Amino acid sequence: MLEQHYRHLQHLEAAINACALSVNLDAAECITTLNPRMANALQQPPELISGRYFRELLLPADETQWARIWQQLRTGQSIQEQICFLLHGNTQLWLEAAIHPVMGNDGQLTGCLLIGIDITDRKLPELRVMEDEQYFRQILENLPIGLQQFTPEGVSVEMNSRQRQIWGAQHAFLGDAEYKWLQDPFYRLNGLARMFEEARDTGKTLKREILLNYAEKNYGNVTRLFPLYYEATIFPVTDRHSRMANYFLILDDITEKKVAEISLQKSERLLDNIIENLPIGYIQFDNFGFIRRINQTQRFFFNSPHPAARRNFNVMNDELATRFELDKLFLQALEEGNPLRVEKKIDFSQDERWTTVGREVYLDLTVFPVIEPVDKEMIVVALVNDITDKKMQELENVKNQEFLLQTGDIGKIGGWEMDLETERVRWSYQSYKIHDCEPDTPINYEKAMRFFSPESQPVLEGLVKQCIETGKTFDAELTLISAKQQTKRVRCIGQPGYTNGKRTRIFGVVQDVTEQSAIEEALTRNTELMRLFFDTVDMGYAAMEKDGKLNFLNQKAEKMIGQKVEMGSNIFEVFPRLSGTVFYARLQECIQQRQSQSFGIYFSKPDKWYDFLLTPMQDGGISVFMRDITESRKMQKELRKANDQLSNLNKNLVNQNKQLEDFAHITSHNLRAPIANLRALMQMHNEASSQQERELYLGMLHEVIKKIDETLNDLVEVVQIRKDVNVEKEKLLFAERVQKVKDILLVDIETSNIKITYDFEQAPQIEYPRVYLDSILQNFITNAIRYRSPEREPELHLQTWRENDNIVLTVQDNGIGIDMERFGNKLFGFRKTFHRNKDAKGIGLFITKTQVEAMGGSIRAESRPGQGTKFIITFRPE
Amino acid sequence: MKLINMIFIVDDDPIHQQIAKIMIERQGICTNIRVFSDAQDVLDHIRQHADKVDELPDLILLDLNMPIMDGWEFLDEYSVFHDQLPKQIRIFVLTSSIDEKDKERVRHYPVVNGYLTKPLSKEIIEHLS
């Protein structure tokens, strides 16, 4: 039994020796026995170790622990602890040790048995981890950013000092263990709670900017609140079982950065806003020439078909840009570093890819380089101002001026203008020429007056005075003595000019009519001579009653009539060729006005040109002087032609004045009215209180604008006609043109069932601008259809004939007619209507009249309500 | 401010009719406003109701340029019989014309109380009442 027990002990010892180190110490801590493992660990042979002081070989690392262990041993307690020893004073040896006290009979400690398992290999990494953890803890604790650990339920587990500082000592996180911050409305509002939940639900790391709270700052007695911005990061930490057990929140103060950013954004937004709403175009290029941005005005201007296509636009290689040398401008701005300002003409119709401008425009370009404040990159900005309208106006003005100058030269017509306040007089170049003065010599009223002859001066002064006082226009022929002492006959036309309804100036024209007067005088003298010598010169003479009954004829007259004439017979009977000529009309004029009439008639049958002079006599009879002027016809014709030209100019002059008046009238009535509406509507719109109301006014505004646009278009058309005095003429057959117009109006003609007839035999053709003739004919046919009478089949008859050198066209319909007494004076006016017809715009006859008059002709109408209308157009041949 | 019982606006421009009507209603000087496009209609109305004071307007705003019958013709005709009417109708010419000639011509009609130029404004309407 004992032996068995002993064997068992031996086995135990062998087992211990196989895995553990063991040593026996006496009470003085000297080694008595040790097993080989221990000797091996101490790296000494066992015989050298025995009896040595244990501490010399294995120094306990923790003396306090060691002292405590011995104290416990002395009381008889066994010890089981991890103990660290230092081998040779430095190498760590960790033992999982069990120490048993050996007590003497006296109850005193006599020694102890230490059995230890070497755990150094396991203990050292464990210690390192612990050390590391402490180290990191310390770092985390002292990090300049806040760090906080939460459970998935949002319970705060731990936080570092910075985080405590961020929350503030008063915060519920620090005082209230039951604090449920996820339900706190403040954190719900600023998004932090939601962010936490999101990170928890998705398992992702989230980073956001959060307005965490507000800081108070006191300035004297003013307290201001400053927002405090933090960058919050929330991330899960997965534990060993892959369950997300903990969540960390990192808070980083970004207030300063954020505030700076916000103020930058603010100023950027402001600048952005300004740029976007600049009334001129803004284009920003990067330093490679790519467009970076374009503001609203410019976008509107370009009206790109594909705005995205602009991204590929580069000013350095775009075809259109290089063609108009915009690339050079860009480079110049970059290189010189200075703003450039140029006017450029660019034909945008050359490009369809990124703009629909589609026409030639003049641009006022300001190009300058800037360093972009954020990216510190060089950019180039171009400010674009569309000055096409201004430029066109300038060009138009130059053209008009040239045109006026030209007309002035041809007709020897000068312009003048006098400011009533300063009495300063302005002359056109031609006016200086008429006065034989150096151009640009300063002129005033007194100086201008001195040019006139002693007889003319008071007349003109009177007229000017009257014009100033009553606004009466004047037109007088006066004598002028030029600076070169030449006596000239001039025609002076003047009219008042108004500013704000007040007469502020007089303006008009002065025309040198010296030549014209000379010819007129010559003609008068001729007549007198004829009268004196009618008996002796080769001239026919007849005396007759007002009805044409002949009382006397001289031989020459009989010869010219071509037959023997009995006294008492009627001139129209014996001289039938007179019928259909102007003779009868001029005779009536002579009788009514009691004035001599002189005219020529061409008789095609004997191919003779006769000159007639009808003179009323004291006794009520009429003297007829006839002269065969066939021989001198050519010469005479040329003289008359010259005369005609002059009187034509005269007429043009009158026409010009008339047109000026017309336009003044049109502007006053037809443009002021809608503009007055615009002003009223704008005011109403601005004062309107509701959106609905404003929309109503906007709708009305649109209507008014549409109307103005129509009126302007009509005016432009008329101005175009009046300006195009040199429009090309061609030989036109009336029948052909009527057919053409009928083709155009086919549908209207068929629907209205109008019967159109014509007789162009007497004057089948005319030399006239084709567009005008077509327009005139179309207008009359349209009018005849539009104003047809519902009581009868509509009919329209056109007829032409020659009257002297003129061609007359009559257009007669059987429509509803016009009350001429009432509306006659307005018939051809601009935008005048007399019917309750919705289609009537009152523009057709105005344009027709313009087209007729532009070519020197005239138009009038005869009509009775209910009985149709007859238009009579007299075309002047050239 | 005196309230006006009935105002006639005589103008062929539909937009101006609307503007004038709205502005007068805004100002609240009159509740009964009628618009006419043709002066002939106004003339007919006045003649037909020559014995009914309540049917006659207290004030007429008259445009000059109108088709068919214009303001001038209206004034000519109205001048002939206005003194037979049971009440005095105030007539203001309201036109877009700033032509001195028109103004001068209007002055010759004693039946006209004033010459106003468009656009109508609050001040003008106040002046009417």
Pairwise CB contact (< 8 Å): B67 & A704: no
ipTM field: 0.82
Pairwise CB contact (< 8 Å): A501 & B96: no
* A834 vs B68, B96, B121: nearest CB: B68
State the DSSP H helix or E strand holding residue A715, giving kind and residue range, or none if neither.
Answer: helix A691-723
Strand A755-759 with A795-803, pairing? parallel
Sign of CA dihedral A317, A323, A327, A328: positive
Which backbone phi and psi does A858 adopt, to 5 degrees? -140, 160
* Contact predicate A597/A589, CB 8 Å: yes
Answer with the residue of higher pLDDT: A40 or B45.
Answer: B45
Q: Is the pLDDT of residue A522 over 70?
A: no
Would you kindly state where each structural domain of chain B is located, as residue ranges? 4-128
pLDDT band of residue A527 (cuts 50, 70, 90) is: very low
Q: For a pLDDT cut of 70, what percent of chain A falls above it?
A: 83
Give the Cα separation of A329 and A367 in Å (integer): 8
Pairwise CB contact (< 8 Å): A673 & B67: no
Which residues of chain B have a CB within 8 Å of the CB of A836? 38, 67-68
* Tokens found for residue B43: 């003339």
Which range has the worst mean pLDDT, A80-94, A247-261, A267-281, A679-693?
A267-281
pLDDT band of residue A243 (cuts 50, 70, 90) is: low
Query: Which strands make up the sheet holding A206-219, listed edge to edge?
Result: A156-159, A146-150, A244-253, A222-238, A206-219
- Per-residue confidence (pLDDT) for residue A531, from 0 to 100: 44
Looking at every residue in chain A, the average pLDDT score rounds to 80
Which residues of chain A have a CB within 8 Å of the CB of B117? 676
Answer with the residue of higher pLDDT: B26 or A671.
Answer: B26
A to B CB pairs, distance under 8 Å: 66
DSSP A427: E
- Per-residue confidence (pLDDT) for residue A830, from 0 to 100: 64
- Per-residue confidence (pLDDT) for residue A406, from 0 to 100: 53
Q: Give Cβ neighbours of residue A442 (< 8 Å, ≥ 6 apart).
A: none
Sign of CA dihedral A357, A360, A362, A366: positive
State the DSSP H helix or E strand holding residue A739, giving kind and residue range, or none if neither.
Answer: helix A734-744
Judged on CB neighbours under 10 Å (0-12, 13-18, 19+), A868 is buried
Query: Which strands make up the sheet holding B59-62, listed edge to edge?
Result: B30-36, B4-10, B59-62, B90-95, B112-117
Give the Cα separation of A824 and A832 in Å (integer): 11
Answer with the residue of higher pLDDT: A752 or A264.
Answer: A752
**Inter-axis angle of helices A633-666 and A388-411, to 10 degrees?**
150
Instruction: Annotate chain B with three-state secondary structure.
Output: CCCEEEEEEECCCHHHHHHHHHHHHHHCCEEEEEEECCHHHHHHHHHHCCCCHHHCCCEEEECCCCCCCCHHHHHHHHHHHHHHCCCCCEEEEEECCCCHHHHHHHHCCCCEEEEEECCCCHHHHHHHC
- Interface mutation target, options A667, A683, A825, A841, chain B, most CBs of B under 10 Å: A683
- Interface mutation target, options B9, B11, B13, B15, chain A, most CBs of A under 10 Å: B15
The model's pLDDT over A269-280, given as tens digits with 9 standing for 90+, comes to 666 666 666 667
The model's pLDDT over A372-405, given as tens digits with 9 standing for 90+, comes to 655 667 788 888 877 777 777 777 666 655 555 5
Interface residue ranges in chain B relative to chain A, Cβ cutoff 8 Å: 13, 15-16, 18-19, 22-23, 26, 38, 65, 67-68, 73, 96-100, 117-121
Which residues of chain B have a CB within 8 Å of the CB of A683? 119, 121
- Per-residue confidence (pLDDT) for residue A343, from 0 to 100: 83
The model's pLDDT over A492-518, given as tens digits with 9 standing for 90+, comes to 888 887 877 788 888 887 887 777 666
* B96 vs A673, A832, A834: nearest CB: A673
**CATH 3.40.50.850: does it fit domain B4-128?**
no
Give the Cα separation of A767 and A656 in Å (integer): 24
pLDDT band of residue A535 (cuts 50, 70, 90) is: very low
- Per-residue confidence (pLDDT) for residue A537, from 0 to 100: 45
Pairwise CB contact (< 8 Å): A700 & B18: yes
Give the Cα separation of A537 and A550 in Å (integer): 21
* Contact predicate A166/A249, CB 8 Å: no
pLDDT band of residue A529 (cuts 50, 70, 90) is: very low
Gap from B46 CA to chain A (nearest CA, Å): 21
Strand A474-481 with A443-444, pairing? unpaired
Pairwise CB contact (< 8 Å): A835 & B16: no
Give the Cα separation of A161 and A180 in Å (integer): 21
Interface residue ranges in chain A relative to chain B, Cβ cutoff 8 Å: 471, 498, 501, 665, 668-669, 672-674, 676-677, 679-681, 683-684, 700, 703-704, 707, 822, 832-836, 840, 842
Q: Is the pLDDT of residue B22 over 80?
A: yes
What does the pLDDT average to over A16-40? 85
Q: Is the pLDDT of residue A482 over 70?
A: yes
Answer with the residue of higher pLDDT: A562 or A812.
Answer: A812
Pairwise CB contact (< 8 Å): A707 & B15: yes
- Per-residue confidence (pLDDT) for residue B93, from 0 to 100: 94
Gap from B98 CA to chain A (nearest CA, Å): 7
Nearest CA among A668, A674, A835 for reference residue B40: A835
Q: Is the pLDDT of residue A655 over 70?
A: no
* Contact predicate A229/A258, CB 8 Å: yes
- Considering A294-298, A577-581, A842-846, the range whose residues carry the highest mean pLDDT is A577-581
The model's pLDDT over A147-179, given as tens digits with 9 standing for 90+, comes to 888 888 888 888 888 888 888 888 888 888 788
* Contact predicate A757/A795, CB 8 Å: yes
Which range has the worst mean pLDDT, A14-23, A180-189, A350-359, A626-635?
A626-635
Domains in chain A (CATH in brackets) are 2-127 (3.30.450.20), 143-261 (3.30.450.20), 278-386 (3.30.450.20), 406-512 (3.30.450.20), 518-631 (3.30.450.20), 647-717 (1.10.287), 724-875 (3.30.565.10)
The model's pLDDT over A584-613, given as tens digits with 9 standing for 90+, comes to 888 888 888 887 788 888 887 777 878 888
Give the Cα separation of A708 and A691 in Å (integer): 25
- Per-residue confidence (pLDDT) for residue A400, from 0 to 100: 57
What does the pLDDT average to over A433-450? 86
Which residues of chain A have a CB within 8 Å of the CB of B96? 668-669, 672-673, 676
Q: For a pLDDT cut of 90, what percent of chain A falls above it?
A: 5
- Per-residue confidence (pLDDT) for residue A685, from 0 to 100: 85
Cis-peptide, bond into residue A373, ω within 30° of zero: no
Pairwise CB contact (< 8 Å): B119 & A836: no
- Per-residue confidence (pLDDT) for residue A528, from 0 to 100: 46
Nearest CA among A327, A230, A239 for reference residue A288: A327
Task: Report the greatest alpha carbon distance in chain A.
Answer: 203
The model's pLDDT over A706-724, given as tens digits with 9 standing for 90+, comes to 887 877 777 777 777 766 6
Nearest CA among A794, A734, A795, A791 for reference residue A762: A734
The 3-state DSSP composition of chain A as helix, strand, coil percent (nearest 5) reads 45, 30, 25
Pairwise CB contact (< 8 Å): A680 & B68: no
Give the long-range contacts of residues A603-606, CB within 8 A, separation 24 or more: A603/A577, A605/A577, A606/A562
